[in-house]
Amino acid sequence: MRPFDLHLFDHRLLDLGVIALYLIGITLFGWHFRSSQATMKDYFLGGNTVPWWAIALSIVSAETSTLTVIGTPSLAFQGNFGFLQLVFGYLLARIVIATIFLPAYFRGEMYTAYDLMRVRFGERIRRLTAVTFLLLRALAEGVRVFAVSIVISIILGSGEMASIIVILCLTLFYTYEGGLTAVIWTDVVQMGLYVLGAAVSLVLLLHEIPGGWSHVVQVAQPLGKLQVFDFRLAPPAIFFTRTYSFWAGMIGGCFLTTASHGTEQLLVQRLLAARSKKQSQVALLASWLVIFVQFTMFLAIGLCLFVLYKETGTQAPAVLDRLYPLYIWQRLPVGVAGLVMAAILAAAMSNLSAALNALASTTVLDLWKPIVATLGSSRPESVWLLRSRLITVVWGAVLLGVALVARHWGSVLQAGLSIASIVYGALLGVFLLGLLTKRVGEIAAMCGMTAGFGVMLYVRFATSIAFTWYVLIGTSVTFLTGLLASGFFKREPGRLPGR
């Protein structure tokens, strides 16, 4: 590839202008939803007025982050299309959630995922699951915020923390004002933008490669880079260390997504915002089609970059997460590069706004408000709405702090997934104890969570097991420990609505 001096901004003023215009425009778009935020239900559930198709696109947007946009192409660049095996596991998980989880959520009026744990087990398990989510989301989202610095370093030629702070503040502004309504509708716009950006990149890449897609296939096929499924069975020492195989994808991907979409407030909050259980189920299932197309597109981009680099004899960047952003900024036409870079920032802002609202809702509704209630104090709805907004700001500062230390955690995509997977097992295990058993009580469930989390810390730091198996292991340990502990601890009163 031809060299390009990233410090020569005079050739990129139009690109920078496009990016700046987007940032201002999406912020104002989200801000205008402030007038509809009169109650906590409006702020955290969008008043249950959001159509299913917007929720579906918002789910996709929440699943997609800067990690996905810059990390997925590098997987195909250095490997093949095996990541899609996880995506097929995502579909299986959605069927499980639509069948088991959503009916339980819609039997009562719930604001957070952890309300379900309060109804089934009690207040202590609600607080434990809520704190677990806060820890998980703060760490995982901090990695996503750090990923923004990779994009900004390409644009400005350095790791500009000041620019990350600007993006964080802009996202915080419209999330603070517009609540979940602003989050969902900006998600819809931003998802459209980064999918468009990826499509434009792919078309221009194929135009740059003589022979287009047919030549890409001709080069890649003999190297096995078009392979999707890996059905190989091997001894456990090898089988469980292989990250992308059919078994790891279908089983691991199913457990991972069941945990993220069924127990984590970031995604459950969107599902609870639907007008009805049926619309929530339709939104969840429809989102998979978009996810499949999207991941396939990003993997195709990585494959095309592999062919382009191979045939031009260009050295790949030392950090492969820089691969796609570098191509955009150095090779795409002026103006188009700015649009696609804005699309990557769109993914970052979309995830960040969702995380801020989810972290605030869990903090206020599952921790702060119940504690105040036990002290016999009460405050009007307007006071809690203000407190919710202030907590949103506090979490913005926390995420910025986590991002500062996330740069040492390796590949951003796998770092984000592995961090989440450590905690997801304990969360999913305790939710399954609540949904699938009747005799397990709160203390037994807490024993299960503690055991699951402890085992996963050992698996993560003392074994070479691939992260795709983390959730299955954590869930199994949590569920089985809870069942065993229920024989020693009497079940306390508590049941799910309608059971």
Phi, psi of 63 (to 5 degrees): -75, -30
Q: What is the pLDDT of residue 156?
A: 66
> What DSSP state is assigned to residue 50?
B
Q: What is the pLDDT of residue 350?
A: 76
Asked whether the beta carbons of 40 and 109 are under 8 A apart, the reply is no
Q: What region, left, alpha or beta, does residue 317 occupy, with left being phi > 0 and alpha being psi -120 to 50 degrees? A: beta
Q: 342: Cβ–Cβ under 8 A, 6 or more apart, which residues?
A: 18, 19, 22, 23, 193, 197
Instruction: Dig out the tokens for 267 from the structure.
Output: 């995604």
Q: What are the extents of the domains in the chain? A: 9-408
Cα 61 to Cα 346: distance, rounded to the nearest angstrom: 9
pLDDT tens-digit profile, the chain (499 residues):
444 444 444 557 888 888 888 888 888 888 888 777 777 788 888 878 889 999 999 998 888 776 677 788 988 898 889 889 888 999 999 999 999 999 999 987 788 889 999 989 988 999 999 998 898 888 777 777 777 777 777 776 655 577 678 778 888 888 888 888 888 898 888 888 878 888 888 998 899 888 889 999 999 999 989 988 888 876 666 767 777 778 888 888 899 899 989 998 888 989 999 989 999 999 999 999 999 999 999 999 999 999 988 888 788 887 777 888 888 887 878 888 888 778 777 777 777 888 888 899 899 989 998 888 887 777 787 888 888 889 999 998 888 888 777 665 555 445 555 666 778 899 999 999 999 998 899 999 999 999 999 999 898 888 888 877 888 999 999 999 999 999 888 765 555 554 4
In single-letter form, the type of residue at position 4 comes to F
Q: What is the pLDDT of residue 3?
A: 44
Q: What is the pLDDT of residue 160?
A: 57
Question: Is 9-408 in CATH node 1.20.1730.10?
Answer: yes
Cα–Cα distances (Å) from 471 to 198, 257, 375, 442, 476, in that order, read 30, 9, 37, 22, 8
Phi, psi of 5 (to 5 degrees): -80, 110
Q: What is the pLDDT of residue 336?
A: 80
Asked whether the beta carbons of 352 and 399 are under 8 A apart, the reply is yes
Residue 7: exposure state from Cβ atoms within 10 A (0-12, 13-18, ≥19) = exposed
Q: What is the pLDDT of residue 237?
A: 60
DSSP string, 71-129: HHHHHHHHS-STTHHHHHHHHHHHHHIIIIIHHHHTTS--SSTTHHHHHHT-HHHHHHH
Q: Classify each residue of 220-244 as buried b or exposed e, where b means 16 or more C-beta atoms within 10 Å of its C-beta.
A: beeeebbebeeeeeeeeeebbebbb
Q: What is the pLDDT of residue 57?
A: 92
